[in-house]
Structure 1
Amino acid sequence: MTQTASISEAARPVSGPNTQRVVTRIRDDAEALQAAHKLAAELVQQASDRDRTRRLPWDELDRYVRSGLWGITVPKQYGGAGASNVTLAQVFAIIAAADGSIGQIPQNHFYAVEILRVNGSEQQKRFFFERVLQGDRLGNALAELGTRNSNERKTRLTRDPDGVGYRINGRKFYATGALYADWVPTSVIDDDGVQQLAIVPRHAPGLSIVDDWTGFGQRTTGSGTALFDNVQVPVDAVLGFQASFARPTTVGPQAQLMHAAIDLGIARAAYDDLIVFVKTHSRPWVDAGVEKASEDPLTIHEVGNLSIQLHAAEALLERAARKVDLAAADPTDETVAAASIAVAEARVLSTDISLAAGSKLFELAGSQSTLAEHNLDRHWRNARTHTLHDPVRWKYFAVGNYYLNGKKPPRHGAI
């Protein structure tokens, strides 16, 4: 088989049943938020049924892409909106509130776009940013099972004997978005032991995406296995991955910001369903002496507590996003550390409120809320699954060590 000499010569892969995409070009932050609200109103309609039956959201993702939202962080000089991280976080929270699984799927797409912005060559930026603006989806083949820790990688990138390109061999898991992708950014270890990012066409010979995700939450993310069997990749489809953290960049804090926004969106969905159910289905406890569950003083107290936690998480998310924007404009050790810590603080609260809202929903709504036809447990399942992405206990440590001892957090994607 002849090695492809250039990424631009690779055939555009087909990701799903709708291969011809007419994509809106979003021009600014306001248009992005408007598009997100409009799309969310559509996605929420069958979110419960998709989760219940594990119906993969091919059509919904196609609508998401055609809305133009997947291209909002492409810099303006390359034809994108150059949206702020404040807007990016808001978009993620809006979509995740409508459907937690769909809310997570593009996280690694934006992660790859940011790595391209930070580390891509001019040729790579021009090519991939334009592909993104035309509707191509970037997936993810980063994490692996069976390694000593979550950051270790064994998938190899070896130079072809003719020197024209590379070959990839290895196995990935938690490959969120790869099933639906046009391109699969893949973390690989090169012959020098350095971690790189290879952007592989989804249907490249030797690449298999296995839909074996069995998590009890985030059920339609397709976060399963990616297998690489001597997969060919051209030289200009490889860019620095480890280099994204060798110097101060916003790759890490932006990735974590999106995760916090996903958790916040899941929390909003649980909170909203709690309010509706208590008002329309629940009965007051006999000792409350009231006619409606919504008049129960202890229920009112708990809803007040949840409301405060939710609003605090929203405020910290916006604060963190502004810090990431400042770091993107001036990436120094100090600004990136401050952004990482602010995002860690937001992730603590977004984790807490997403789990609390999903649990309190049942406590306050009562036994009826556990009936299968309501499928309200999806909120807690989604929150519990997604918040395990990396341990919140280490965020407390990073924050405390920063303020108490002046220690900057390590630079990687899991802070």
Structure 2
Amino acid sequence: MKFQQLDTHADRLKLMDQLKSKFFERAGQIDVEGLFPFENITELQQSGYTSLTVPHQYGGMGISLAEMLMLQEKIAEGDGATALSIGWHMGIIKNLTEKRTWSEPIFKKICEDVLNGSLINAAATEPQTGSPTRGGRPFTSAVEQNGGWTITGRKSFTTMAPVLNYFIVSASLEDGGVGNFLIPREVPGLSIEETWDSIGLRGTGSHDLVLENVRIDKEFMVEKIQPGQKQANGWLLHIPACYLGIAQAARTYAINFAAEYSPSSITGSIVELPNVQQKIGEMELLLLQSRHFLYSVANLWDERSDSERRDMQPELSAVKHSVTNSALAIVDLAMRIVGAKSLSLKCPLQRYYRDVRAGLHNPPMDDMTISLLARSAIQSITKP
């Protein structure tokens, strides 16, 4: 069954529930052995999921941001690494659909390839510059020569590197500007160095992309960019959706454990104990708050015009901050319910704990969000 054969959002969620169960079955081995989830990604491609954000114009379904986030959240309940990985691809296609910053022939070609299973992600982070959201100028360079571009450099944290067909690479230009370049995987001089050794989200395959005098045609400089420019990007809500899904999985595991665990010191199971119910209630409150915040802002994004969306950066950043930090708290509460057993390698909670912690290092970072909210509040009072 393919997602494109299903008429309703509810039916698509049911199909993702089926895929999610398979992802969960593989998640433990992927984490322990540091594997890339090839089977998960293949199943998402074969189900048609990876083309759902392609616009109707080019044969896709053009699903809303809110629906994309709900499906991403489901994936994360099964395996956070798979969700975060495919979320970049899904979101980038959605963002390109909404903003149309690339030439139409290039975008059309990418959409056609995505319909046939191709995957895309950006490669912007570098060891010397840190997160691109901080405004650092890339050390990767692009030189225009012989009617094309020659690109040299190294990018870190290239999520889903083992299976990507296209890389969007930021590089410094000779005129002092910065460009984004679309680079197909098969070009000579492109290689992947397997450097990913994180203890969280081990299955994302976020290795280094190495470019050694890579030659591409002139039209593959797809746009000029301003480093550190803070645009409103609704698609980045796939990040908090991922961590919300992990938190939901932790909550479900903890409640099931509490309902079944009956130590000899009590009658019945620990789910009946007031202190355990207190923690369950706290988890539920955080989940309700997070879900309402995330999807209310996503629905606003879907409903608003392009000009109205430009003013949504404070809300988008606040959602990521709030949901990610709440997810951390939910996993912590779940582990307190389960106790020392939550630290066993056989228990998924220890994986959720490591995975959800990674959310603090996805953009935008907490300090930048708080600073943005402060500036926004001050301007709302002082602006004439």
**TM norm structure 1:** 0.83
Q: Is the 1:277–1:369 Cα contact (8 Å) retained in structure 2? A: no
Q: Does 1:85 align with 2:85?
A: no
Q: Does 1:406 align with 2:380?
A: yes
RMSD: 2.6
- With 100-109 and 143-152 compared, the bigger mean Cα shift is at 143-152
Q: Does 1:304 align with 2:281?
A: yes
Deviation of 1:373 after TM superposition, in Å, equals 2.1
Cα distance in 1 between the residues matched to 2:112 and 2:194: 29
AA matched with 2:254: L
Q: Does 1:172 align with 2:155?
A: yes
Deviations 1:178-216 (A, max 9, x none): 222111111122222222221111132111111211111
- With 212-221 and 176-185 compared, the bigger mean Cα shift is at 176-185
Q: Does 1:124 align with 2:106?
A: yes
Closer/same/farther in 2, CA of residues 130 and 243 from structure 1, 3 Å limit? farther
Q: In the alignment, what sits opposite 2:291?
A: 314
Deviations 1:283-311 (A, max 9, x none): 48x6xx65321111011011101101011
Q: Does 1:292 align with 2:269?
A: yes
Deviation of 1:129 after TM superposition, in Å, equals 0.6
Q: Does 1:51 align with 2:34?
A: no
Deviations 1:5-49 (A, max 9, x none): xxxxxxxxxxxxxxxxx9864676626434422321221222122
- With 51-60 and 301-310 compared, the bigger mean Cα shift is at 51-60
Closer/same/farther in 2, CA of residues 403 and 26 from structure 1, 3 Å limit? farther
Deviations 1:67-97 (A, max 9, x none): 1111111111111111100011111111111
Deviation of 1:405 after TM superposition, in Å, equals 2.9
Q: Is the 1:29–1:81 Cα contact (8 Å) retained in structure 2? A: no
AA matched with 1:350: V
Deviations 1:215-258 (A, max 9, x none): 11000101121110001111222211517997x965x2322x11
Q: Is the 2:271–2:277 Cα contact (8 Å) retained in structure 1? A: yes
Q: Does 1:344 align with 2:317?
A: yes
Q: In the alignment, what sits opposite 1:353?
A: 326
5+ residue gaps, structure 1: 1-21, 408-415
Secondary structure at the counterpart of residue 366 of structure 1: helix
Secondary structure at the counterpart of residue 212 of structure 1: coil
Closer/same/farther in 2, CA of residues 293 and 209 from structure 1, 3 Å limit? same
Q: Does 1:366 align with 2:339?
A: yes
Q: In the alignment, what sits opposite 1:253?
A: 234
Secondary structure at the counterpart of residue 169 of structure 1: strand
Q: Is the 1:198–1:237 Cα contact (8 Å) retained in structure 2? A: yes
Q: Is the 1:116–1:124 Cα contact (8 Å) retained in structure 2? A: no
Alignment of 1:6-405 (within 5 A): 25=4, 30=9, 32-117=12-97, 118=99, 119-147=101-129, 150=132, 151-152=135-136, 153-160=138-145, 162-163=146-147, 165-242=148-225, 250=232, 252-255=233-236, 257-281=237-261, 283=263, 290-327=267-304, 330-332=305-307, 334-338=308-312, 340-390=313-363, 391-405=365-379
Closer/same/farther in 2, CA of residues 220 and 226 from structure 1, 3 Å limit? same
What is the number of equivalent residue pairs in this alignment? 375
Secondary structure at the counterpart of residue 89 of structure 1: helix
**TM norm structure 2:** 0.90
AA matched with 1:269: A
Cα distance in 2 between the residues matched to 1:78 and 1:245: 31
Closer/same/farther in 2, CA of residues 243 and 132 from structure 1, 3 Å limit? farther
Closer/same/farther in 2, CA of residues 149 and 58 from structure 1, 3 Å limit? closer
Secondary structure at the counterpart of residue 105 of structure 1: helix
Percent of matched pairs sharing the same residue:
23
5+ residue gaps, structure 2: none
Closer/same/farther in 2, CA of residues 196 and 108 from structure 1, 3 Å limit? farther
Closer/same/farther in 2, CA of residues 149 and 46 from structure 1, 3 Å limit? closer
Q: Is the 2:81–2:202 Cα contact (8 Å) retained in structure 1? A: yes
